[in-house]
């Protein structure tokens, strides 16, 4: 069974940095686009970033451009989200997600909570 | 950016009922639409992709239809564990989600 396990969530002060990791297993990781999707407390879902299987293409939602970076290490079956200049509005559960054959999100991790507060 | 609008925002129904949730896109997305179920405290789960294709393992009580800008998710023979929030998502141009529909089972 496909598994996605996020880690790295924490309480961080505004302006701080955090790196989220997602360890994938039970599928050929390098064949799939991977995304990060977040959900603020009590709110809906927001796609944040994605990266192609070979890492050659990356996209970010406008609100995080210039602050967040997505990367992957196919040798470690892992995808990362580097978050800099964090703001209160970045507070959310961050989900690591696999993009299925048609770009929909077919597998989700359990999420990791990022809280930005002083 | 493509905006997705769901209705209703909340819905209450009884076990055995059939309910329908509507999702509208701000521009045509062909059939590039998915539906997800999110139970409280859990990650979302894929139900439907390409507007009407049922994900493996999802009960056939769930069905999707539509194309272009208007889509529906229908749940037949409601069960107690269908209580959840349901989201539509377009994946024609990057990704965007509807605001969610919270379904309560009476």
One digit per residue, the tens of pLDDT, for chain A of length 118 reads 999 999 999 999 999 999 999 999 999 999 999 999 999 999 999 999 999 999 999 999 999 999 999 999 999 999 999 999 999 999 999 999 999 877 899 999 999 999 999 9
- Looking at the partner chain, which of B55, B91, B94 has a beta carbon nearest the beta carbon of A59? B94
Helix (H, G, I), strand (E, B) or coil at B66: strand
Contacts of B106 (CB under 8 A, 6+ apart): B12, B13, B14, B15
Task: Mark yes or no for CB contact A104/B44 under 8 Å.
Answer: no
pLDDT of amino acid A43? 97
pLDDT of amino acid A100? 86
Residues 42-101 of A with CB under 8 A from B: 44-47, 50, 59, 61, 95, 100
- Of B50, B54, B58, B56, nearest to B84 by C-alpha is B58
As to burial, measured by CB atoms within 10 angstroms (0-12 exposed, 13-18 middle, 19+ buried), residue A25 is exposed
Confirm if A71 and A82 have CB atoms less than 8 A apart: yes
Task: Mark yes or no for CB contact B89/A45 under 8 Å.
Answer: yes
- Looking at the partner chain, which of A47, A59, A100 has a beta carbon nearest the beta carbon of B96? A47
User: Which residues share a beta bridge with B36?
Assistant: B46, B87
Residue B87 touches chain A, beta carbons under 8 Å: yes
Measured distance CA(B98)–CA(B86) in Å, rounded: 9
pLDDT at B59 > cutoff 80 = yes
Q: How far is CA A8 from the centre of its chain?
A: 11
């Amino acid at each position: 069974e496909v598994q996605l396990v996020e880690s790295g969530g924490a309480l961080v002060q505004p302006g701080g940095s955090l790196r989220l990791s997602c360890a994938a297993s039970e599928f050929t990781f390098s064949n799939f686009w991977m995304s990060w999707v977040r959900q603020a407390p009590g709110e809906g879902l927001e796609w944040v970033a994605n990266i192609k299987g070979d890492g050659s293409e990356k996209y970010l939602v406008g609100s995080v451009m210039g602050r967040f970076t997505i990367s992957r290490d196919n040798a470690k079956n892992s995808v990362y989200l580097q978050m800099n200049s964090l703001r209160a509005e970045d507070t959310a559960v961050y989900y690591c997600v696999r993009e299925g054959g048609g770009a929909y999100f077919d597998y989700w991790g359990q999420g990791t909570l990022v809280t930005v507060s002083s | 950016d493509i905006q997705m609008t769901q209705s209703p925002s909340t819905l209450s129904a009884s076990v055995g009922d059939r309910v329908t949730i509507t999702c509208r896109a701000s521009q045509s997305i062909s059939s590039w639409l998915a539906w997800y179920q999110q139970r409280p405290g859990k990650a979302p789960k894929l139900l439907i992709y390409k507007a009407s294709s049922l994900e493996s393992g999802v009960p056939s009580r769930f069905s999707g239809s539509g194309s272009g800008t208007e889509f529906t998710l229908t749940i037949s023979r409601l069960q107690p564990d269908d209580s959840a929030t349901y989201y539509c998502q377009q994946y024609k141009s990057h990704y965007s989600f509807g605001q969610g529909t919270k379904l309560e089972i009476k």
